[in-house]
Structure 1
Amino acid sequence: MKKRKAHLLWIVTKKRMKWPRKGMRRMKAAVTVNQRSDEIKNWLEKFNLGSVVFCAFGSEWILEKGQFQKLVLGFEDTNLPFLVAVKPPKGTNSVEEAFQKGFQERLANEFAKRGHTVSFLLPKTARLRLSNANLHPRLITFRTLSVPHVKGLPYGAETTSDTDNSLALSSAMDEMQEQVKAVLAEEKKPDIIFFDFANWIPNLASEIGCKAVFFSVVSPAIAAITLLISTSKEKLLTVSDVMEYLPNYPSSNAPVLRKNEARALAVYANQPNNWMIEFLSKGVIGAKQSDALAVRACREMEGAHCDHLSVLYKKPVFCTGPLFPEPTDEPLDDKISNFLKKFGSASVVFCSFGSELFLDFSQFQELVLGLELTGLPFLLAGTKPPKGTTSIQDALPEGFQERVREKAVLYEGWVPQTQILRHTSIGCFVSHGGSASMWESIVSDCQIVFVPTRGDYCMNSRLMAVELQLAVEVEMDENGGFSKESLSRGVKAAMGDDSEVGGQLKKNHKRWRDVFLSNGFADNYIGKFIRDLEKLL
Structure 2
Amino acid sequence: MASGEKLHIVMFPWLAFGHLLPYLKLAKLIAEKGHKISFISTPRNIHRLPKLPHDIAPLINLVKIPLPCTPNLPENAEATCDVPFNKVKHLKIAYDQLQDPVTCFLESNSVDWILCDFASYWLGPVASRLGVPCAFYSIFPASILGFFGPPSQMITGDDYRVIPEDFTVKPKWVPFQTSVAMSLYQILVLEPNFEADETENVSDLFRIGNTIQNCDIVVIRSSTEFEPEWLKLVEEIYKKPVIPAGLLPAIDDDHEDEYWDEIKDWLNKQARGSVIYVAFGAETKLNQVQVTELALGLELSGLPFLWALRKQRGLTDPERIELPEGFEERTRGRGMVYPTWVPQVKILSHDSVGGLLFHSGWSSVVEAVQFGKALVLLPFLGDQGLIAKQVEEKKLGLLIPRNETDGRFTRDSVAETIKLVLVDAEGKIYRDKVKEMKGIIGDMDRQNYYVENLIGYLQNHKSMGK
User: What is the one-letter code of the residue matched to 2:30?
Assistant: M
Q: 1:486 and 2:410 equivalent?
A: no
Deviations 1:425-468 (A, max 9, x none): 212211110111111111013222111234621221122112x2
Instruction: Provide the rounded CA distance (Å) in 1 between the counterparts of 2:239 and 2:366.
Output: 27
Q: In the alignment, what sits opposite 1:284? A: 209
Superposed counterparts of 1:254-333, under 5 Å: 254-257=178-181, 260=184, 264=188, 273=197, 278-332=203-257, 333=259
Matched AA of 2:36: T
Question: Is 1:349–1:429's contact at 8 Å kept on the other side of the alignment?
Answer: yes
Q: 1:122 to 1:496 in 2, by over 3 A?
A: same
Match of 1:9 in 2: 10
Measure the CA separation in 1 of the matches of 2:268 and 2:318. Answer: 30
Which residue identity is paired with 2:69? H
Secondary structure of the residue aligned to 1:142 is strand
Q: Distance in 2 between matches of 1:136 and 1:462?
A: 37
Q: 8 Å contact 1:319–1:525 — kept in the other structure?
A: yes
Q: Once superposed, what is the RMSD of the aligned Cα atoms?
A: 3.0
Residues 153-199 of structure 1 deviation map (CA, whole Å, 9 limit, x = unaligned): 22111112222333222211221222223323443x11111111112
The answer for unaligned runs of 5 or more in structure 1 is: 28-114
**Equivalent residue for 1:175, pick from 97, 106, 125:** 97
Please state if 1:339 is matched with 2:266: yes
2:434 aligns to what?
Answer: 509
Measured after TM superposition, the shift of residue 521 of structure 1 is: 1.0
Which region of structure 1 is more displaced relative to structure 2, 9-18 or 359-368? Answer: 9-18
* Kept after mapping to 2: 8 A contact 1:247/1:256: no
Identity of aligned residues (%): 26
The 10-residue stretch of structure 1 (162-171 or 243-252) with the greater mean CA deviation from structure 2: 243-252
Larger RCO: 1 or 2 (CA < 8 Å, sep 6+): 2
1:17 positional shift: 2.1
Query: Is 1:204 equivalent to 2:131 in the alignment?
Result: no
Determine if contact 2:275/2:306 at 8 Å carries over to the other structure.
yes
Displacement, 1:308?
A: 2.2
Following the alignment from structure 2 to structure 1, what is the Cα–Cα distance between the partners of residues 125 and 133? 10
Equivalent in 383, 386, 410 of residue 456 of structure 1: 383
Question: What whole-Å deviation, never above 9, does each CA across 1:191-249 have from its counterpart, x for those lacking one?
Answer: 11111111221122122211111111112222344457946856771357435663596
Unaligned runs of 5+ in 2: none
* Aligned counterparts of 1:146 and 1:272: Cα–Cα separation in 2: 25
In the alignment, structure 1 residue 476 sits paired with structure 2 residue 402: yes
Asked whether the 8 Å contact 1:7–1:117 carries over to 2, the reply is: yes
Change (3 A) 1:518 1:477: same
SS at match of 1:141: strand
Distance 1:214 1:203 in 2: 13
Give, in whole Å, the separation in 2 of the partners of 1:401 and 1:131. Answer: 31
Q: Is the 8 A contact 2:376 2:400 kept in 1?
A: yes
Q: Which amino acid aligns with 1:441?
A: A
Check 1:407–1:24 CA distance in 2 against 1; reply closer, same or farther (3 A cut). same
1:127 aligned residue: 46
* Matches of 2:248 and 2:278, distance apart in 1: 22
Pair 391,347 (structure 1): closer, same or farther in 2 beyond 3 Å: farther
Seen in structure 2, the aligned counterparts of structure 1 residues 461 and 311 have a Cα distance that, compared at 3 Å, is: same
Q: Residues 170 and 198 of structure 1 are in contact (CA less than 8 Å); yes or no, is this contact kept in structure 2?
A: no
State whether residues 311 and 322 of structure 2, in contact with CA within 8 Å, keep that contact through their aligned partners in structure 1. Answer: no
Where do residues 348-367 of structure 1 align in structure 2 (5 Å cutoff)? 348-367=275-294
Give the C-alpha shift of residue 251 in structure 1: 5.1
For residues 237-256 of structure 1, the aligned pairs below 5 Å read 237-238=162-163, 241-242=166-167, 246=171, 252=177, 254-256=178-180
Q: Give deviations 1:472-505, integer Å, cap 9, x for gaps.
A: 22112122232111111110001116x1x33222
Partner-residue secondary structure (3-state), 2:143 = helix
1:24 aligns with 2:30: yes
Counterpart check, 1:403 vs 2:330: yes
Q: Are residues 1:194 and 2:119 paired?
A: no
* Structure number with bigger Rg: 1
The answer (yes or no) to whether the contact 1:232–1:269 under 8 Å persists in 2 is no
Q: 1:250 to 1:529 in 2, by over 3 A?
A: farther
**What is the one-letter code of the residue matched to 1:6?**
L
Matched, 1:447 2:366: no
Code of the aligned partner of 2:114 = I
Which deviates more, 455-464 or 198-207?
Answer: 455-464
